[in-house]
Chain A
Amino acid sequence: MRLEVDIKGKTFRSAAGGIQEVLAPVKFALQSGEVGVLIGPSGCGKSTMLRIILGLDPEFSGGVARPPQARIGMVFQEPRLLPWRSVEQNVRLAAPGVADAKLAELFRILELEAHRDHFPGELSLGLARRVALARAFAVEPDLLVMDEPLASLDDALASRLRDEIATLVASRPVMTLLVTHSLDDAIRLGDRLFFLSPRPARIMREVPITIPRAERSEADLGRIKGELARLQLESK
């Protein structure tokens, strides 16, 4: 499976009546098993880009080729849970086919076992984010899109969840698109990093990471980080 994004541009009319350009031409493709990471300053149009890729926003010029039968798992920036359904129901409604064992496993990994029957209003933001992750994983997606999934989680949990995401991505051929602010998350998870410019967003630089995810040592990560820092200095 393959995701091809070829956005020629996106504008929207502001309340004052002016026309604002949100996205410049953006073009990239993603294969099954690949993790693409979008990194950019906040407000640069990343979320708009995701909405277009997910098919939520048809008003743009250009095209997005998504396999029509692809199952999508999405972790929104805000958890977007149904407040009137329990944690378990929230997951099951998105993934009706999920096996009990699989669900139990997910809840165990994300430490949600004690919260199965709670309503989202009773959860902290960190917990709600984990439910959103469980929901996205439970559908066994072909295309997994995550918009800052690890923001506002403590470091220990964030790093564990990062490992879980890596495991999931490795376990099935899934195309993953991750939006993040954290360079650390990007180089630990990503195969290809797309650095975006401020609004209107375009891809300033595409950096592939050739070492397979599982084999990246701390030394490798440090070196990649150093290289990225140097590249960014050059571009300024």
Chain B
Amino acid sequence: MLRLLSFALLLGTWWTAALFVGGAKLPAPPAVLHVMIAEASSGALFLHLGATLARVALAFTLAMSIGSAIGYLMGRVKLADRLGDPWLILLLNLPALVVIVLAYIWAGLTEAAAIAAIAINKLPTAIVTLREGARALDRSLDEMARVFAMPRWRAFRHVVLPQLAPYIAASARSGLSLVWKIVLVAELLGRPNGVGFEIGVAFQLFDTPRLLAYSLTFAAVVLVIETLLVQPFETRANRWRPRAA
């Protein structure tokens, strides 16, 4: 209810601002909605949205799985930490734009280059978060698992993974928002479809309603994925914690 009210307030502000600024710079909500419906009925909206989502899904999965594995290793094995740390610092501080441009130059304007560039941008944050998680693992529980001769996989699944779950959730959440932002840049610079490409076209034509139509649809999809996927996972991972009163 409160969320709805907050949303209505946002819409109201937008509408009022549109009246003052004028339709060319900030179109009113109905104008944007009109473009949305037109694009949706032609199918273009879903095509571009689908292309972007596919890239997000691929890059996100790639970065999360590789990043988690490397982070876990670095948190557990000192040698891996010392070897990997300089690379990590380099990757963490490399601007997204540099990675994307270099990927396009080296691998051509291809799908693989785009996805790799997005994944590489997300990779270091996943590593850092999971490394922290692996460092914080409770040694006394490790010992318990060893004494009771739990097989490796069972110990990993029931002893280690639940301890990492909050870190995985945190990394997924921050990582997803990072990927959302970067995917559009990658599309703008080197793909012939996707929301980023459409926004690039809209920018060249100064077509603000079109720009807003695509961005807002995109934002809505992000919101839906957050509430339907990320938040339930977090709740489930934390269900054993005594609830705050």
Task: Determine if A80 and B149 form an interchain contact, defined as CB atoms under 8 angstroms apart.
Answer: no
For the complex formed, measure the closest distance between the CB of B240 and the CB atoms of chain A, giving whole angstroms: 4
Q: In the complex, are the beta carbons of A80 and B242 less than 8 A apart?
A: no
Interchain CB contact under 8 A, A93 and B150: yes
Which bucket holds chain A's interface residue count?
20 to 34
Cβ of B29 < 8 Å from any Cβ of A?
no
Write the B111-146 contact mask toward A (1 if CB under 8 angstroms, else 0). Answer: 000000000000000000000000000001101101
Looking at the complex, which one of B144, B150, B158, B240 makes contact with A80 (CB distance below 8 Å)? B144
Q: Kindly state the separation between the CA atoms of A85 and B162 in the bound complex, as whole angstroms.
A: 9
Could you tell me the distance in whole angstroms from the C-beta of B121 to the nearest C-beta in chain A?
Answer: 32
Q: Nearest chain B CB to A139's CB is how many angstroms away?
A: 6
Whether a CB of chain B sits under 8 angstroms from the CB of A54 is yes
Q: How many residues of chain B have a CB within 8 Å of chain A?
A: 16
Known: A78-B140, A93-B154, A93-B158. A84 touches B147 (CB 8 A): no
Question: Does B141 contact A94, Cβ atoms closer than 8 Å?
Answer: no
Mark contacts of A55-66 with chain B using CB atoms, 8 A cut-off: 1 yes-contact digit, 0 otherwise. 110000000000
A80-B141, A82-B158 known; A94 and B148 CB under 8 Å? yes
Q: Which of A2-10, A68-76, A178-186 contacts B (4 or more CB under 8 A)?
A: A68-76
Q: Which of B141, B146, B158, B240 contacts A119 (CB 8 A)?
A: B240
Question: B141 — which chain A residues lie within 8 A by C-beta?
Answer: 80, 82
Q: Contact at B158–A121, with CB atoms within 8 Å?
A: no
- Give which listed residue, B144, B148, B149, B162, contacts A84 with CB less than 8 A: B162
Known contacts A84-B240, A121-B241, A122-B242, A54 near B147 by CB under 8 Å: yes
Residues of B within 8 A of A85 (CB): 158, 162, 240
A83 on interface, CB distance cutoff 8 Å: yes
Question: Which residues from B are CB-within-8-Å of A83?
Answer: 240-241
Known pairs A93-B154, A121-B240, A121-B242; A82 contacts B146 (CB<8 A): no
- In the complex, A121 Cα to B143 Cα: how many Å? 20
B242 and A71 contact, CB distance less than 8 A: no
Q: Does B189 contact A (CB under 8 A)?
A: no
* B159 CB-CB contact with A under 8 Å: yes
The distance in angstroms between the C-alpha atoms of A54 and B140, with both chains bound, is 13
Nearest CB on B from A125, distance (A)? 15
20 more A-B residue pairs beyond the given contacts A83-B241, A93-B154, A121-B241, with a C-beta to C-beta distance below 8 A: A55-B146, A71-B149, A74-B144, A74-B147, A74-B148, A76-B144, A78-B140, A80-B144, A82-B158, A83-B240, A84-B162, A84-B240, A85-B158, A85-B162, A93-B150, A93-B158, A94-B144, A95-B148, A96-B154, A135-B148
Q: Which residues of B contact A (CB under 8 A)?
A: 140-141, 143-144, 146-150, 154, 158-159, 162, 240-242
List the 6 closest pairs (A to B, CB-CB), nearest first: A84-B162, A84-B240, A94-B148, A80-B144, A74-B147, A119-B240
A-B pairs with beta carbons under 8 Å apart, 29 shown: A51-B143, A55-B146, A56-B143, A56-B146, A71-B149, A73-B148, A74-B144, A74-B147, A74-B148, A76-B140, A76-B144, A78-B140, A80-B141, A80-B143, A82-B158, A82-B159, A83-B241, A84-B162, A85-B162, A85-B240, A89-B158, A93-B150, A93-B154, A94-B144, A94-B150, A95-B148, A119-B240, A121-B240, A121-B242
